[in-house]
Copies of this chain bind each other. A is one copy, B any other.
Amino acid sequence: MKSQKLVKEVTRRDEDFSQWYKDVCLKSELINYSDVKGFFIYLPYGYSLWERIQSYLNHKLKKSHHQNVYFPLLFLERLFKKEKEHIKGFSLEALKIDKVENKTLLETLIIRPTSEVLFSQYYAKKITSYRDLPQLLNQWCSVVRWEKNTKPFLRSKEFLWQEGHTIHENKKEALKECRYIINLYKKLGQKLLAVPFVLGKKTQLEKFKGAQITYSIEALMYDGQALQSGTSHYLGTNFSESFGIQFQDANLQKRFAHQTSWGISTRLIGAVVMIHGDDEGLNLPPYLAPIQIIIIPIQIKNKDILAKAQQFYQKLKNKYRVFLDLQDKHVGWKFSHYELKGVPLRIEIGLRDLTQEQVTIFIRHNFRKIILKEQEVIKNIPSLLKKINQDMFQKALQNLNQNIYTAHNYEEFKQYLQQKKGYIKMSVHANEAEFIIKQETRATARIILKEKLITKICPVTRKKANQTILFARAY
């Protein structure tokens, strides 16, 4: 029998946030390291979080007439070079293959870091008339980028994602798609992850290489750092001009098509860990959790208690992801174990519960216990889960709102940064100020705010301020 202590070996969050994060990811068995630095193994508990995100998004995307496809892992490096900005963004990170068994290939291949060029090449062949538009394609796959500083979920040399690639007749429709998607991502955050996102446009410096506009959703981690959690790009005709994607419109005129691309990745799991987790470990929102309800009979040898626990398990198992723990282990160990695993609800059935015809319900995220009469349990679970999701979202939202600061001068900006305060708003002269700030403070422009200028003069460049930007240090 493992001791209670063994389960709890998670570094305290305020002591060393980075170590806490690694501990939680490893000890709750979301992930494991492989032998190659920067490549992670997604274990069942972690992978099932991704499956749930997939299932939520697939359902929504299919409703809005998006179709799943699978495009090759490897493609010609030559294609990659066609769009000039795009190649700049990825050239250092892309893995190349130029020989097979010592025979040099005619053309160098690369492992996809993202697939805009492949989809563009396909669309160039496929699309001839406005009747062929729009095309709303999406794929679930992994991509490889040779990142240097890696961290479970947040930054890895390979990660799982979905990449949508759509193509439209005109700018208006492409932009509509682009915004539809980023709002869908935001809603996924609220409904499934209990994570509030700030949504906005990226600056010229931070936008996707090859895009005209990048919309981003950004989350705020417990340590005050921001996390870009999903992006939706309006590519304009950049790729369609490079790849010759022309169609004949209703007036028989040749025109270039307008494209979008968008994606979310396993990063979202990192956000969930960092935002909701605590000193006990993982803390999962109820609609995402692989186990929503853990049933623990307090006296494992008591037949009446076991029978009652079984009864609840049978009643719940078809509607919820529920697990009945009958292991011959200390109850305290079990409590800690499922807290570490972040299971939202724990139903405890002890002797007292039995005689009183009640159960004790422990709520993981706020550590509260409630007592419900047996006959009330089933009825109350849907509202309990809903309430937990809302509460977790509200708590994170409150933390987000309380950690957006306004800087009227550069000193103030630096002070907030030093205090790890989260987001800092400042009005600056684009893009010069942003570049200086990044160099001097490692803070980056997260999104452009649609707000009035805070100061007329940019505190960094002393030139005319023309944009109010949300800055933060980011993962």
Q: What residues make up the interface of A, taking CB atoms closer than 8 Å to B?
A: 32, 34-36, 39-44, 47-48, 50-51, 67-76, 79, 92, 95, 97, 100-101, 109, 111, 118, 121-122, 125, 137, 141-142, 144, 146, 157-158, 160
How close is A215's CB to chain B, nearest CB, in angstroms?
25
- Enumerate chain B residues within 8 angstroms of A95, measured Cβ to Cβ: 97, 100
In whole angstroms, how far apart are the Cα atoms of A34 and B74 in the complex? Answer: 10
Q: Is the CB of A72 within 8 A of B41?
A: yes
How close is A111's CB to chain B, nearest CB, in angstroms?
8
In whole angstroms, how far apart are the Cα atoms of A125 and B69 in the complex? Answer: 36
In whole angstroms, how far apart are the Cα atoms of A464 and B122 in the complex? Answer: 58
In whole angstroms, how far apart are the Cα atoms of A76 and B33 in the complex? Answer: 13
In whole angstroms, how far apart are the Cα atoms of A44 and B146 in the complex? Answer: 30
**Given A36-B72, A109-B36: A92 in contact with B97 (beta carbons within 8 A):** no
Q: Ordered nearest first, which 9 A-B pairs have the shortest CB separation? A: A44-B67, A39-B72, A42-B70, A34-B72, A47-B69, A100-B146, A41-B71, A73-B158, A35-B76
Main secondary structure of the interface of A (DSSP, over half): mixed
- Enumerate chain B residues within 8 angstroms of A39, measured Cβ to Cβ: 72-75
The contact of A121 among B35, B40, B75, B157, by CB within 8 Å, is B35
Q: Is the CB of A72 within 8 A of B40?
A: yes
Question: Quick one: closest B residue to A141, CB to CB?
Answer: B142
Q: Is the CB of A71 within 8 A of B36?
A: no
In whole angstroms, how far apart are the Cα atoms of A157 and B109 in the complex? Answer: 13
- Enumerate chain B residues within 8 angstroms of A47, measured Cβ to Cβ: 67-70
Q: Is the CB of B35 within 8 A of A74?
A: no
- Enumerate chain B residues within 8 angstroms of A157, measured Cβ to Cβ: 74
- Enumerate chain B residues within 8 angstroms of A121, measured Cβ to Cβ: 34-35
Question: Quick one: closest B residue to A125, CB to CB?
Answer: B32
Q: Is the CB of A36 within 8 A of B70?
A: no
Q: Is the CB of B68 within 8 A of A51?
A: yes
The contact of A44 among B43, B76, B137, by CB within 8 Å, is B137
Given contacts A35-B79, A44-B69, 19 further A-B contacts (CB under 8 A): A32-B122, A34-B71, A34-B121, A35-B76, A36-B74, A39-B75, A41-B72, A42-B70, A44-B68, A47-B68, A48-B67, A48-B68, A70-B160, A72-B158, A73-B73, A73-B111, A74-B144, A95-B100, A141-B142
- Enumerate chain B residues within 8 angstroms of A72, measured Cβ to Cβ: 34, 36, 39-41, 158
Question: Quick one: closest B residue to A100, CB to CB?
Answer: B146
How close is A137's CB to chain B, nearest CB, in angstroms?
7
In whole angstroms, how far apart are the Cα atoms of A76 and B144 in the complex? Answer: 16
